[in-house]
Amino acid sequence: MILSTVAAVTLVAAPSATLAGDWKGWSIHPEDYPNTVAMQAFAEKVAEVTDGRVTPTVYAGGVLGSQPDAIEQVRAGALEWANFNMGPMGEIVPATNVLSLPFVFRDVDHMHVAMDGEVGDQFSAALSESGLVALSWFDSGSRSFYNSKQPIAEPADMNGMKFRVMNNDLYVQMVSQLGGNATPMAYGEVYQSLQTGVIDGAENNYPSFESSGHFEVAKYYSITNHLIIPECLCVSTIVWDQVSEDDKVAIAAAAQEAAEIQRDLWAKRELASREKVEAAGATINEVKDPLAFQAAMEPIYAKFIAQNPALESLIADIQSAK
C-alpha cells in the first residue's frame, strides 16, 4: 500500500515498532515516479519472500519530511527504510561527498559500472558506519540548470542569478564558481520560491523538473549535465540487525530487483518528462561549450582534496572504474 496522506506524518512510530516488521519507507517523489514505483515493488516482494514477517509500506511525496530530516529518522530507526539521493548525504557521511563533485562520472554508464562494483562497496561501507545499509543503487540521471529568466549558454549567463541547491556546501561552491548565487533549500519549497522570485532557478534531472512542476515557473532548461548522483535503497542499521540471516538474503535480492525496475522505468521517464515539459512550453538548450562549465568548477576538486586527503583515492577509483 502506498500511503501519502498528510495524516501519515503523525504515524511515525517509535523504534520498537520495527520488531513487528512494519517498515515505513520514505520517498520524496510522487507515487508514479520511477523510484516510488520501484519501492512499492520492493515492498510487495519483501512481504512475499518473508511470508509477511517484514511488511514495508511507502510514504510518497515527502509527507514524512525533507530528506535531511528523513536521513536522521532512518539512522535513528524511527523510519525503517528510504530512497535517498546521495547529494544531501554528504553532510552526514563525508565519503559520499565524492559523488557530489561535478563531472566525477563521465556518464550514467560510468556511474553504473562504478556503483555496481567495488567503488559502490566503499560507499556502502561508509554508509553502514553511519547507520544506513545501502541495499541497491537507483538512477537519477544527470542534473542541469534551469531558470525563469533566460537560456544559459555559457557560465557568464549565470552571473548574479540565484539558484536553489540541495543541502550540501559543495553545491554552494559549484554555483559560485559559475558566477551565480546559491541558496540551499528543501525540495518541497522550490516551486513556490521560483514562483515568487525568491530564487531565479535550480538544477535537477528531467523527471524531477517535470514531476515537481518547476517547468511551469522556470521554463529555461540548459543542458549542463554537471552532476550524476546515484541514490540508494537504504534500510536502517538498527532495523537490519533485527532481521534473520535468511530474510536478509531474500530482502537484499528484492532490493536488487527493485533497482533493475527503477533503472528501466527511469530511462523511459527521462524521455517522457522531456517531451512533456517541451510540449508545455519549456525551452531546452544545449550550452555552447560543456567543457567551459567543467573548467569553471574544476577548482572545487583541489580544495576538496586539500580538506579531505583520505578521499583522494576514492576519486581516483571512480575515475578509473571500467
Long-range contacts of 5-13 (CB under 8 A, 24+ apart): 5/63, 6/63, 8/59, 8/63, 8/64, 9/63, 9/64, 9/65, 12/64, 12/73, 12/78, 12/79, 13/78
Residue ranges in 36-95 that form contacts with ligand GTR under rule CB under 6 A: 67, 85, 87
Number of residues that bind ligand GTR (CB under 6 A): 11
Binding part of the chain for ligand GTR, among 108-116, 200-208, 261-269, 287-295 by CB under 6 A, reads 200-208
Output 28 or 314, the one with its CB closest to ligand GTR: 28
CB of 142 to ligand GTR, least distance (A): 10
Binding part of the chain for ligand GTR, among 17-25, 38-46, 203-211, 301-309 by CB under 6 A, reads 203-211
Output 82 or 321, the one with its CB closest to ligand GTR: 82
Residue ranges in 236-295 that form contacts with ligand GTR under rule CB under 6 A: none
CA distance 55 to 285: 45
Residue ranges in 1-30 that form contacts with ligand GTR under rule CB under 6 A: 28
> Quick check: 205 binds ligand GTR (CB under 6 A)?
yes
Residues 146/221, Cβ–Cβ less than 8 Å = yes
CA distance 261 to 138: 9
Those residues whose C-beta lies under 8 Å from the C-beta of residue 172, and which sit 6 or more positions away, are 165, 182, 184
3-state secondary structure of 154: coil
CA distance 183 to 178: 14
CB of 25 to ligand GTR, least distance (A): 13
Output 215 or 247, the one with its CB closest to ligand GTR: 215
CA distance 252 to 67: 23
Task: Choose, by CB under 6 A, the member of 96, 100, 147, 204 that binds ligand GTR.
Answer: 204
CB of 169 to ligand GTR, least distance (A): 15
Output 23 or 163, the one with its CB closest to ligand GTR: 163
Task: Choose, by CB under 6 A, the member of 187, 215, 240, 293 that binds ligand GTR.
Answer: 187
Where b means 16+ CB within 10 Å and e means fewer, 214-253 reads bbebbbbbbbbbbbbbbbbbbbbbbbbeebeeebeebbbe
CB-count exposure of residue 278 (10 Å: 0-12, 13-18, 19+): middle
> Quick check: 166 binds ligand GTR (CB under 6 A)?
yes
Task: Choose, by CB under 6 A, the member of 124, 140, 211, 224 that binds ligand GTR.
Answer: 140
* Cell numbers describing residue 109: 554508464
Output 124 or 168, the one with its CB closest to ligand GTR: 168
Output 70 or 250, the one with its CB closest to ligand GTR: 70
Residues that bind ligand GTR (CB under 6 A): 28, 67, 85, 87, 140, 166, 187, 204-205, 208, 231
